[in-house]
Amino acid sequence: MEKRVWHAFYDEGIPATFPFVERTLPEALDRAAANRGDATALYFINRRMTYRELKDQVDRLATALARLGVVKGTRVAIQLPNLPQTVIAYYAALAAGAEVVMTNPLYVAREIEYQWFDSNCEVAILADFIWEHRVKPIREQLPVKHYIIASIPEYLGFPLNLLAPLKLKRMKPPSWARVRPGPGVHLFKKLVDSTPPDPPKVPVGLDDTAVLQYTGGTTGVSKGAVLTHRNLSVNVQSVVAWLHLSEQSDEVVLAALPFFHVFGMTSSMNFPIWAACTMVLLPNPRDIPAVLQAVTKRRITLFMGVPAMFAAINNFPGIEQVDISCVKSCFSGSAPLPVDVLQKFEALTGARIVEGFGLTETSPVTHGNPMRTVRKVGSIGIPFIETDSKIVDLETGTRDLPPGEDGELVIKGPQVMREYWNNPGETANVLRDGWLFTGDIARMDADGYFYIVGRKKDMIIVSG
């Protein structure tokens, strides 16, 4: 791309133009399993899974999905917290050529019905307690043909795999339910274990759809951002480069950000697999004692978080006596990070926190403060590799504004979605000549650092 003022502030070794590798996410898992098969792919409480084991589980489920009729373009919903099954289901569905629909585990029946009908999901992979209490009662109203039911205890090690159901079913609300298989209802672990790892070879291209990621977007109307394999691949490669990591890293990544959210999907699941490093899965990011236990026990080195998590750790009773100095780098997104929160967390860990910015429509990361050069606290940083950005006037969106003036933030880059699913009117409203109109009011300073200052309130709502 053309030279931009912010390129002068890129860390040494990060180019303005990047040689993105032509590799899909399933191919990244294949590579990690081939090169680092015995390395730890994930920890889940008392369970460790290597990359070789993860690949085997993915291959088995991909085979099972094909036997259930999943072909290229089939939409598969995944409604799970951060569990080993979430990772397995996501990569198996993509390898089978399916298009993944990540569904918030907190969605009520009305939201589930809308999303799965809008996307025409044919297979749903969900937790037992979600099935029992929210989906089973509306099963006849949904387009789904096959349900694959996962249970939190089934991927725990002994003896927690036996003890966990007793605790989980007493929680409010319950997080475990006994499910009996039947027509169209399959148990996740039994299905995987009974299927050989022999998935069909499905030609998946970088420009094929990978994920329909639902968002309120710029208007608040729920719609699916169509993210391609290329969108997700280049974005995760940009994160790896921005953090100065190789494709075979020994980082240990806190995977507490929800995978059903695009920030968690990219930064806490796809990124570790691309870099062949370790993710430490936590189903509940609000459980700060569990977060701290994971940090200290697994020696987390890379902390992906949101401001509320950093603040909660800072305010945890006795935090000064907890050794979290293993954390070396942190990435914060989704909301502005208060200066006092940043300073205290950095004092506790010795780590450096960089703030960034992204949108569901951009896979998600578009801007970030550099890891080593100038960090401007309060800014969202500078545009990522091969990402262009500018500020345009609020009235027409056709006039570029100079540094210091407030206007609408617009973005162009290889991570920008293809379209909104089945919504050409809204697509045309936000995608114009390759530029994504974000609806965020921002300003750029003379160095090319961007600052979010508000939200545009007069966005035109166009139904497709």
Q: Report whether 235 contacts 261 (CB < 8 A).
A: no
DSSP category for residue 182: B
Q: What is the pLDDT of residues 323-336, one digit of tens each?
A: 999 999 999 988 88
Look over the chain and give the mean of its residue pLDDT values, rounded to a whole number.
94
Bridge partner list, 352: 329
SS3 per residue for 268-308: HHHHHHHCCCEEEECCCCCCHHHHHHHHHHHCCCEEEECHH
Work out the average pLDDT over 367-371: 96
Q: What is the pLDDT of residues 188-232, one digit of tens each?
A: 999 999 999 999 999 999 999 999 999 975 566 789 999 999 999
Task: Give me the helices (H) in 194-276, please.
Answer: 229-242, 262-264, 271-274
Q: What is the pLDDT of residues 264-303, one digit of tens each?
A: 999 999 999 999 999 999 999 999 999 999 999 999 999 9
Q: What is the pLDDT of residues 44-95, one digit of tens each?
A: 999 999 999 999 999 999 999 999 999 999 999 999 999 999 999 999 999 9
Phi and psi angles of residue 141, each rounded to the nearest 5 degrees, phi first: -95, 0
Distance from C-alpha of 353 to C-alpha of 371, rounded to nearest angstrom? 8
Residue 301: what residue type?
T
Closest CA to 248 of 268, 271, 274, 280: 274
pTM: 0.96
Q: What is the pLDDT of residue 246?
A: 83
Token digits for 266?
A: 């990219």
> How many angstroms separate the Cα of 70 from the Cα of each of 62, 115, 187, 200, 283?
9, 19, 17, 11, 28
Query: At 457, is the pLDDT very low, low, confident or very high (cuts 50, 70, 90)?
Result: low
- Does the structure show a pLDDT above 80 at 464? no
Query: At 427, is the pLDDT very low, low, confident or very high (cuts 50, 70, 90)?
Result: very high
Work out the average pLDDT over 293-319: 97
Q: What is the pLDDT of residues 93-114, one digit of tens each?
A: 999 999 999 999 999 999 999 9
Percentage, residues of the chain above pLDDT 90 = 92
Q: How many CB atoms lie within 10 A of CB 241?
A: 18
Q: What is the pLDDT of residue 335?
A: 84
Instruction: Name the residue with tokens 């994920």.
Output: 211
- Contacts for 457 with CB less than 8 Å, ≥ 6 apart: none
Q: Report whether 279 contacts 255 (CB < 8 A).
A: yes
Q: What is the pLDDT of residue 218?
A: 55
